[in-house]
Amino acid sequence: MTGAPDRDPGLQPERTRLAWRRTTLSCTVAAVLAAKQALHGGRTPVALVAVALSGLVWLGFLAVAHRRIQSLTRSARPGVLRPREAVAALACVAALALFAVAMLL
Amino acid sequence: MISIAQTLRLWFAPERIGEEGETPDYRFSLANERTFLAWIRTSLALVGGGFAVDQFLPDLRWGVRVGLALALLAAGVLCALRAVNHWVRCERAMRRGEDLPVSRFPTLLSVVVAGVAVVMVVVVVFGWAG
């Protein structure tokens, strides 16, 4: 964190930013599939709650990704990803999988 | 070998990683982060596959469909858990200047995915209903 204006010749922060964007996109696809699955049996109140929950999970992931992208943008020598952020990403995946299991059974 | 409890503590207490060894070149940490994200994408794809099996193969017998979907979903969750664990272990190994951890997980995941694929091929070739 020297605040040096020089840019990384390997564009490492930018590549990491793009990796977060790709991952957000994957999360969007999974959340859309979850919502589609929930609405499969018609627009019952339970289905709408399930859609809202998948939306919430997606927003959660979006927030984590956005914060990380911000911190990657701010400096040319960004800090390490914090375990809390990694665990938050894990929680989003696990929540979507749980929804899937709940809807299957 | 480290115990599960110690690993879990490491997940939730970032400063404990920072206590050990020296901070590696930030580029190595970013590469580690990208690997972690690639594994998270893999697990999201597996979870999405679980949804897809249930949605796009409605003609399958209930047991087969749910079995395939559950296998994919379980693989997805395991993959995500392992992604965090591997990321923490790699980060620590880099700080300590040790070799990066090796793991059997990629092989296991390939075997599971191949198994699901073979079952799907068999189911499609030998008729839907079964």
Q: Predicted ipTM?
A: 0.85
pLDDT in tens, B62-87: 888 888 899 999 999 999 999 999 99
**What is the count of structural domains for chain A?**
1
**Could you tell me what percent of chain B has a pLDDT over 90?**
35
User: In this structure, is residue B69 part of a structural domain?
Assistant: yes
User: In this structure, is residue B19 part of a structural domain?
Assistant: no
Find the length of chain B.
130
- Helical segments of chain A, H only: 12-38, 45-74, 83-104
User: In this structure, is residue B12 part of a structural domain?
Assistant: no
Residue numbers of A between 15 and 74 with CB closer than 8 Å to B: 15-16, 19-20, 22-23, 26-27, 29-30, 33-34, 36-37, 40
pLDDT at B114 over 60: yes
**What is the count of structural domains for chain B?**
1
Residue numbers of B between 33 and 92 with CB closer than 8 Å to A: 33-34, 36-38, 40-41, 43-45, 47-48, 50-52, 54-55, 66, 69-70, 73-74, 76-77, 80-81, 83-84, 87-88, 91
pLDDT in tens, A56-103: 999 999 999 999 999 888 877 788 888 888 889 999 999 999 988 888
Report CA B113 to chain centroid distance, whole Å.
12
User: In this structure, is residue B4 part of a structural domain?
Assistant: no
User: In this structure, is residue A4 part of a structural domain?
Assistant: no
User: In this structure, is residue B7 part of a structural domain?
Assistant: no
Domain residues for the domain of B101 are 26-125
State phi, psi for A49 to the nearest 5 degrees. -65, -40
**Quick one: pLDDT at residue A47?**
87
User: What would the mean pLDDT of A43-65 be, rounded to a whole number?
Assistant: 91
Q: What is the 3-state secondary structure (H, E, C) of A30-54?
A: HHHHHHHHHHHHCCCHHHHHHHHHH
User: In this structure, is residue A5 part of a structural domain?
Assistant: no
Query: CA-nearest residue of chain B to A21?
Result: B37
Cross-chain residue pair A86–B81, CB shorter than 8 Å:
no
User: What would the mean pLDDT of B33-50 be, rounded to a whole number?
Assistant: 94
User: In this structure, is residue B17 part of a structural domain?
Assistant: no
**Quick one: pLDDT at residue B24?**
83
Count A/B contacts: CB-CB distance under 8 Å. Answer: 122
User: What would the mean pLDDT of B24-53 be, rounded to a whole number?
Assistant: 92
pLDDT at B130 over 60: no
Residues of A in contact with B27 (CB under 8 A): 8, 10, 12
Task: Report the alpha-carbon distance of residue B80 to residue B64 in Å, rounded.
Answer: 24
**Quick one: pLDDT at residue A29?**
93
User: In this structure, is residue A1 part of a structural domain?
Assistant: no
Q: Which of these, B32, B87, B27, lies nearest to A77 by C-alpha position?
A: B27
pLDDT at A6 over 80: no
Domain residues for the domain of A63 are 12-104
pLDDT at B108 over 80: yes
Selected residue with higher pLDDT from B58 and A92: A92
Which pLDDT band holds residue B115 (cuts at 50, 70, 90)?
Answer: very high
**Quick one: pLDDT at residue B100?**
87
User: What would the mean pLDDT of A4-13 be, rounded to a whole number?
Assistant: 71
User: In this structure, is residue B86 part of a structural domain?
Assistant: yes
Q: Which of these, B87, B73, B121, B92, lies nearest to B21 by C-alpha position?
A: B92
pTM, to two decimals: 0.86
pLDDT at A31 over 90: yes
Task: Report the alpha-carbon distance of residue B55 to residue A46 in Å, rounded.
Answer: 18
